[in-house]
Amino acid sequence: MARLVKLNDIENRGLLKRLSDQDIAIYEDVQGHTIFVQYDGKEFKIRAKTTNADPINLVDLAMQRVYSKAFDYFIALPEQSKKLLNENWMFCFEYFYDTQPAHIKYDRMPKNGLILTSIVKGKNFTHNLDELSEYADLFECECVPLIYRGRLNQKQLELINSFLNTSASDLEYVFGESNFSDFFYKILSPSVENSFLMQKGSFQDNLERIIIRCEGSNEEMNFEILNPLYQRMSENNSTEFLEMYSLILLHFLEHCQIVDIGKIKIEGLTREESYIDLMCKLFNTYTETIKKDIDDLQIIVPEFFQNEKFKINTNLLKNKITKNLVESNPKLEYIFKVILGSFNYKRKKPIGVFNENTLAYFNEFLDRIEKRLDKHVKIERETLLQQKGLLNFSDFYQIVYDTDASGTIYPDLYTRAEEVSDSKKKKGIPVVPIGKKIKK
């Protein structure tokens, strides 16, 4: 796969000359939720962000509302379309739940919320424009936005070179009343009246980059030109978030020590369904101990969790008590989100008030959960096999997604907390009332 070279860097600017006699395609970079979609002949598997990620499962879908629309859409594709998909390929899309999936706000949604940007064949990302266009038609979505295709003339090369050699502080003079996207559209496609997903006469004012790909050659590199004035949205990665998040986990763990999970009746055919049901029932009993004080608890819900698309997908909660609790109070919803997203697999790194001893305490409880779920799913599986005349389990099991569900995956909460951890070492397991500050 050709590497992407940044032409803005001084040492790379001379490479612009290599484009003077090349057939190229120049694209506007699109910021959505990156997903990789693969059809294995029976069902669609959707991965978020990378090809190596685990496929999105039912727990992930319950954690937020973002990807439910995507699942519903691909499941509903006509059978004749599914038959035309290579089972060994992954299709890379930028997926839109709304008009601002990342750091850029657009004026309109792409068709069916999807933009096909590449096809992964084996380990190679392919970007053949004609092939992408054909599959975009098959998926009934939009194709990666093309700004220019052909060979650059001398005037265009000179203007691009001038931009690359202009300091960020002088760009406002270069742009005048326009912006980065307007500047390059005027150079490359002057007849176009707006940038991608923008209204007529409007050019995206926070475009991060344009991408230049060489066509019909075995070039070892493609190119990108970055916008020095691009701005990312700020995110709250404070120590306060870490401490509150880890305190919720700690107090929930303390509550669970007095609960015999072996006596909890679990419902669900699969591990994901059973896990959600178990966590709902543990959450319900935990809530009884804190609900009367919930209004007084000093729980600050992080701003990035208040967006509608990152709220709990209550359509996938079968437990009516949990659903009512989550919908009754944003603090309870956040607590449930922390719990549901944190007890599904073991962790390696302490965060917040967690130290090595607390982490061992946490992982030991996950062993108990795992054994309980394994026992339940084994019993359910054996029962179903008997009822189905010893048919293979995979022959009749299929997840049914609620077609009424509204809906990135937001990154796993514990992983996010690890990334912003202040790495402070704390000894012992602090017993601090939830909502109280930890003494330094």
pLDDT at 439: 43
What torsion do the CA atoms of 283, 284, 287, 289 make, to the nearest 10 degrees?
A: -110
In this model, does residue 255 exceed pLDDT 80? yes
Interval 188-201 mean pLDDT? 95
* Percent of the chain whose predicted confidence (pLDDT) is above 90: 50
d(CA 303, CA 56) in angstroms, rounded, equals 24
> Do 313 and 62 touch, CB atoms closer than 8 A?
yes
d(CA 55, CA 58) in angstroms, rounded, equals 10
Residue 203 is encoded by which pair of tokens? 């050019």
Higher pLDDT: 327 or 178? It is 327
Residue limits of CATH 3.30.470.30 in the chain: 3-226
Partner residues linked to 149 by β-bridges: 25
Interval 355-374 mean pLDDT? 90
Q: Quick one: which of 94, 104, 91, 95 has its CA closest to 68?
A: 95
Question: Residue 411's pLDDT band (boundaries 50, 70, 90)?
Answer: very low
Interval 100-122 mean pLDDT? 93
pLDDT at 348: 84
Helix/strand/coil percent split, the chain, to 5: 45, 15, 45
pLDDT at 234: 57
Question: Residue 185's pLDDT band (boundaries 50, 70, 90)?
Answer: very high
Mean model confidence pLDDT for the chain? 83
Write out pLDDT tens, residues 117-128. 999 998 889 999
Q: Can you give the pTM of this predicted structure?
A: 0.76
Q: How many CB atoms lie within 10 A of CB 207?
A: 26
In this model, does residue 394 exceed pLDDT 50? no
Higher pLDDT: 96 or 20? It is 96
- SS3 for 160-198 is HHHHHCCCHHHHHHHHCCCCHHHHHHHHHCCCCCCCCCC
CATH number of 3-226: 3.30.470.30
Interval 60-89 mean pLDDT? 93
Q: Tokens 């012992």 sit at which residue?
A: 428
pLDDT at 158: 92
